[in-house]
Structure 1
Amino acid sequence: MTGLRERQKADRTRRILEAASRLFRAQGYDAVRIEDIAAAAEVSAGTCYNYFSTKGDLLLSIVSMEVEEVIEAGRALVLSPPSDVARALVELIRIYYDHSLNYLSKEMWRKAMAISIEAPATPFSRHYTQLDAMLSAQVCELLSALKLRGLTRGDLDPAVLGQIVFSALNQLFIEFVKDDAMPMHDLHRASEAQTIALAALMRPQPERMA
């Protein structure tokens, strides 16, 4: 019975989150009420409030769902990366970007970012920061794997490099979500140019003849 209850709870949670995502995208975050989400998910408003106290909780859970799925999608690449640093990084970043609008609109991303910045001491902001840290850690993990294969310079620290790469891709993503008219292919083009330049600095230098 416990297993059944847990599955039912997980199903209701997923239905509520998917309904919230659809309504936020279609009507805008500020226009949607918890009651609207409950009706779309075919649960009572009370049930919805039991699971999520505020719309902010719902938004953060949607961001969490997005990040968890994208990290899972990137895991296979990290375990078996391409043998070229630039290609490996570009492919991982492309996974992040291509998945980013599955559940969230640009407006939803802006709202989540704004809440995390406006109230840095809140659980929302701390959790949002943790999600960024999870993505940054995966980039570091990829660079560690590439270093073990001798594909990056031995004197470079994958943890530091990963943070630099993530900061660059994250800043470009912020610019992307700020501009409703910017297409995804422009984001990819800008990111690939930066990533290729960074990767060139990471590659082992050929030994010079004495």
Structure 2
Amino acid sequence: MAGLRERQKAKRQRAILQAASTLFKQNGYEAARIEAIAEAAEVSVGTFYNYFEHKADLLLAIVSMEVEEVLNQGQGVVDAPQADAYDAICTLVATYYDHSLVYLTKEMWRTAMAFSIQSPDTPFSRRYRELDLALAEQVVALMERLQQGGQVLRGVDARAFGELTFLGLNGLFTTYTVSEDMALDELKAAMFRKVRALTAQIGVAEAG
């Protein structure tokens, strides 16, 4: 019985998150109303508040859902990387970028980033940083896996290069979110150029 209740609770929470994501995209984060989200999720407003105290908590939950799915997909790249380091790193980068707007819009990302900067000591901001750290650690794990497989030179500081790669892809993603005119293909092309330069520096031949 307890297992059934937990599944029902998870189902309601997922419904709220998907409804909120849809309405945030349609109306904008600020304009979307709690009452409309609850109605779209087919729950009462009281039930909504059993799950989330306010919209900021809801936005963080959507960010978490996004990043957790990305991490699951990225783990497949880490576990079985392509033979060429450039291709492997670009595949992981593309996995992150391609999934970035599944549940969130650029405006939602900007709002989440602003919350994390404006109130760095809140649970929202701490969780946001934890998610960033998890992504960074996955990039490091890929770099270390490539080094173990001989695609990255043994003397290279794989952790440092992994962290630099994450800083690069994260910084470009921030640029992407603040530019409504920048297309996803432009974002990926810009990062792929950096990856090509990176792989050249760690002694790996560039992909043809």
TM-score of the aligned structures, taking structure 1 as reference length: 0.96
- Partner residue in 2 for 1:208: none
Matched, 1:94 2:94: yes
Q: Which residue of 1 aligns with 2:49?
A: 49
- Cα deviation per residue 1:93-118 (whole Å; 9 max; x = unaligned)? 00000000000000000000000000
Counterpart residue number, 2:131: 131
d(CA) in 1 for partners of 2:124 and 2:161?
27
Which structure 2 residue ranges, 5 or more long, are not aligned? Answer: none
Quote the residue 1:105 is aligned against: 105
Segments ≥4 residues shifted beyond 6 Å: none
Structure 1 residue runs without a partner (length 5+): 206-210
- Partner residue in 1 for 2:181: 181
SS in 2 for 1:86: helix
Q: TM-score normalised to the size of structure 2?
A: 0.96
Pair 1:204–1:108, CA change in 2 (3 A): closer
Is 1:73–1:95's contact at 8 Å kept on the other side of the alignment? Answer: yes
Provide the C-alpha distance between the structure 2 equivalents of 1:174 and 1:185, rounded to a whole number of angstroms.
Answer: 15
Aligned-pair CA distance for 1:203: 2.4
Number of aligned pairs?
A: 205
Deviation at 1:157, TM superposition (A): 1.9
Distance (whole Å) between structure 2 residues aligned to residue 135 and residue 188 of structure 1: 17
1:169–1:145 CA distance, 2 compared to 1 (3 A) = same
Work out the CA distance in 2 between the residues paired with 1:197 and 1:161.
12
Distance 2:49 2:64 in 1: 18
Cα distance in 2 between the residues matched to 1:98 and 1:30: 25
What secondary structure sits across from 2:30 in the alignment? helix
Q: Deviations over 1:155-201 (max 9, x none)?
A: 22222111100000000000000011111110011010011111111
**Structure 2: how far apart are the matches of 1:146 and 1:194?**
17
**Aligned counterpart, 1:76:** 76
Structure 2 match to 1:117: 117
> Cα 1:9–1:202, aligned 2, differ >3 Å: closer, same or farther?
same
* Residue identity in the other structure for 1:17: L
The offset of 1:85, in angstroms, is 1.1
Q: Distance in 2 between matches of 1:53 and 1:45?
A: 11
Contact 2:85 2:204 in 1 (8 A): no
Partner of 1:16: 16
Per-residue CA deviations over 1:23-69 (Å, capped at 9, x if unaligned) read: 00100000012111101100000110110001000000000000000
SS where residue 29 of structure 1 aligns?
A: coil
Whole-angstrom CA distance in 2 between matches of 1:146 and 1:109? 31
Residues 117/147 of structure 1: CA separation in 2 closer, same or farther (3 Å cut):
same
SS of residue matched to 1:169: helix
- Aligned residue number for residue 4 of structure 1: 4
Q: Could you tell me how far apart the structure 2 residues matched to 1:104 and 1:203 are?
A: 37
Q: Whole-Å Cα distance in 2 between the matches of residues 147 and 8 of structure 1?
A: 44
Query: 1:161 is matched by which residue type in structure 2?
Result: F
